Amino acid sequence: MGRSPCCDKNGVKKGPWTAEEDQKLIDYIRFHGPGNWRILPKNAGLQRCGKSCRLRWTNYLRPDIKRGRFSFEEEEIIIQLHSVMGNKWSAIAARLPGRTDNEIKNHWNTHIRKRLIRSGIDPVTHSPRLDLLDLSSLLGALFNQPNFSSVATHASSLLNPDVLRLASLLLPLHNPNTVYSSNLDQNLQTPITSSESSQPQAESTTPTNNETSSFELMNARLDDVASADVLPPLSESFDLDSLMSTPMSSPQQDSIEAGANSNSFFDFGFPEDFILDDFMF
DNA sequence: AAGCCGATCAACCGCAATGTT
DNA sequence: CAACATTGCGGTTGATCGGCT
């Protein structure tokens, strides 16, 4: 089935609406009501296609539209709804009386999205952006704790295991001179990477001059430590790319809910036996 | 004063879903 | 049931404006 053109291109005006055109459209809809957009422009004496008339009415001329700035409460509602619905602007608009989907979409892209990014929140997943977090500073201190085993247990409860595991792999790459193994549970099998170490650690301490070799090394390490006990294995759904960068928008918005779940790397629910002081140095 | 640039938002485009014949 | 028409939706574009140099 071929796609039918929305209107006859000949003699159809495009671009901004004039006040006169607005008035014609308002007068017609007041008398006849909205709908029949195909024949509306002809009957209303407008040189526009029906689609353009419908958009002008629903997004601008409708009498129940609330103009003006979005309130803080409205923004919070939008953020909450977007975290559940994704880019379902019409569904979000249906829960915000007086606001159109187009208006909400524009406001999201020009204000809210930027605000979330500035706050370190991924506007797609509504999770903290890991590419903005310095995992080595976050976890390096944990890994240097004398009682690492208990710390690791707590950390495993706090963080998504995939992230924790990845961080344990990345740390030696990030800072080759850092000593880990003396403080680590031996099950981690993370090599000593100190310049004072008597054991050469060619594999993980090799300075890398480019990103590619680091990633190759990291991928090799993913396999090498697959049998570690402290941290669970990487899940099959784990996607390294998702940690490295966050796209502006996902083409697969249908899977937004699944995506939100699979990308919830941080679990901020504290275990019952969690003692905050254990993490204070 | 003029030009540049980023922000904003109305409007358009293309596609999909739904309705009608 | 197929063909076509209509409507709705989300992504993108481009005109406009204000701030800055």
Domain extents for chain A? 19-61, 72-118, 133-279
One-letter amino acid for residue A263 of the chain = N
Residue A266 pairs in a beta bridge with: A159
pTM of the model: 0.55
Q: Gap from A110 CA to C20 C1', in Å?
A: 20
Whether the Cβ atoms of residue A200 and residue A157 lie closer than 8 Å to each other:
no
Please tell me the number of Cα atoms within 13 Å of A218 on its side-chain side. Answer: 18
Confidence at residue A178, expressed as pLDDT on a 0 to 100 scale? 36
Whether the Cβ atoms of residue A69 and residue A112 lie closer than 8 Å to each other:
no
| Distances in whole angstroms, Cα of residue A103 to Cα of each of A69, A106, A123 | 10, 5, 18
Please tell me the number of Cα atoms within 13 Å of A265 on its side-chain side. Answer: 24
Whether the Cβ atoms of residue A135 and residue A167 lie closer than 8 Å to each other:
yes
Confidence at residue A55, expressed as pLDDT on a 0 to 100 scale? 87
Residues 170-229/A with CB within 7 Å of nucleic chain C are: none
A72-118: same fold as A19-61?
A: yes
Confidence at residue A197, expressed as pLDDT on a 0 to 100 scale? 33
Is any atom of nucleic acid chain B found less than 7 Å from the CB of residue A60?
A: yes
Residues 75-114/A with CB within 7 Å of nucleic chain B are: 102-103, 105-107, 109-111, 114
Confidence at residue A273, expressed as pLDDT on a 0 to 100 scale? 37
Superfamily of the domain at A19-61: Homeodomain-like (1.10.10.60)
Which regions in chain A score pLDDT beneath 50? Answer: 1-8, 136, 142-143, 148, 151-152, 154-281
Confidence at residue A270, expressed as pLDDT on a 0 to 100 scale? 32
Confidence at residue A133, expressed as pLDDT on a 0 to 100 scale? 52
Confidence at residue A132, expressed as pLDDT on a 0 to 100 scale? 52
For domain A72-118, the question of CATH label 3.20.20.70 is answered with no
**pLDDT tens-digit series, residues A52-92:** 898 888 888 888 888 788 888 888 889 988 888 888 898 88
Rounded Cα–Cα distance for residues A38 and A8 (Å): 10
Which bases of chain C are contacted by protein, using any atom under 7 A from a CB? 3-12, 15-16
Is any atom of nucleic acid chain C found less than 7 Å from the CB of residue A16?
A: yes
Rounded Cα–Cα distance for residues A273 and A56 (Å): 58
Is any atom of nucleic acid chain B found less than 7 Å from the CB of residue A54?
A: no
Two tokens, residue A69 = 């700035």
Is any atom of nucleic acid chain B found less than 7 Å from the CB of residue A51?
A: yes
